[in-house]
Amino acid sequence: MLRHAVRGFRELAGNKWRLCAALALASVAALCSANAAFAATSTSTFGVTMTINASCTIVSTATLNFGSQGVLAAAVNQTTTLQVQCTNTTPYNIGLDAGTGSGATVNVRKMTSGSNTTNYSLYSDGARTVVWGITVGANTVSATANGGLQNFTIYGQVPAQTTPAPGVYTDTITVTVTY
């Protein structure tokens, strides 16, 4: 009988333990769901801004190389490319100065080798009839930007002329973008 009583007590104690564990789990679950029911959020917004100013950049210029020549009995033609990038819809003008040769003008530029010179010209058209100069509204190339790189061909010509002394003839042209 005592044995039955001890076993009954153990079963009752085991059931209480299970009951306590079940109640504890139920309490934790209720507490968690109560917190979830009381969770709140708050939102807000913020602005994002940037100002784009009209701007232009000369991205690249390449040397205009007329190569190696002998007697200048006929015109020597060559081209090079100029790349410009400006902010979209920006109108601009590209000008080329007379260069650094002594006595040069935009109509007749001069490459030099020591004290010797040879004449050449730069044009904005393939027919080589429109001299490319520096005066906005008169002899520059005008364009409206698309926001990307824009390529412009510079058409050069060394006309037939009295051939100067042998040497390496050079000049430097300054490109100006006005916007």
pLDDT digits (tens, 9 = 90+) for 59-68: 999 999 999 9
What CA dihedral angle connects 71, 75, 80 and 84, to 10 degrees?
140
- Give the mean pLDDT of 114-120: 97
- What does R_g of the chain's alpha carbons equal in angstroms? 42
Q: HSE (CB half, 13 Å, CA atoms) of 170?
A: 4
**Are 133 and 106 a contacting pair, CB within 8 Å?**
yes
Question: Within 10 A of 113 (CB to CB), how many other CB atoms are there?
Answer: 14
Question: Is 46 a member of any domain?
Answer: no
Q: For residue 115, what are the domain limits?
A: 56-178
The pTM of this model reads 0.76
pLDDT tens per residue, range 146-167: 999 999 999 999 999 999 999 9
Alpha carbon distance, N-terminus to C-terminus of the chain: 110
Q: Is residue 1 scored above 80 in pLDDT?
A: no
pLDDT tens per residue, range 25-56: 555 455 455 455 679 999 999 999 999 999 99
How many distinct structural domains can be found in the chain?
A: 1
- The domain that holds 138 is classified in CATH as 2.60.40.1090
Question: Is 65 a member of any domain?
Answer: yes
Phi, psi (degrees; rounded to nearest 5) at 33: -70, -30
Question: Is 24 a member of any domain?
Answer: no
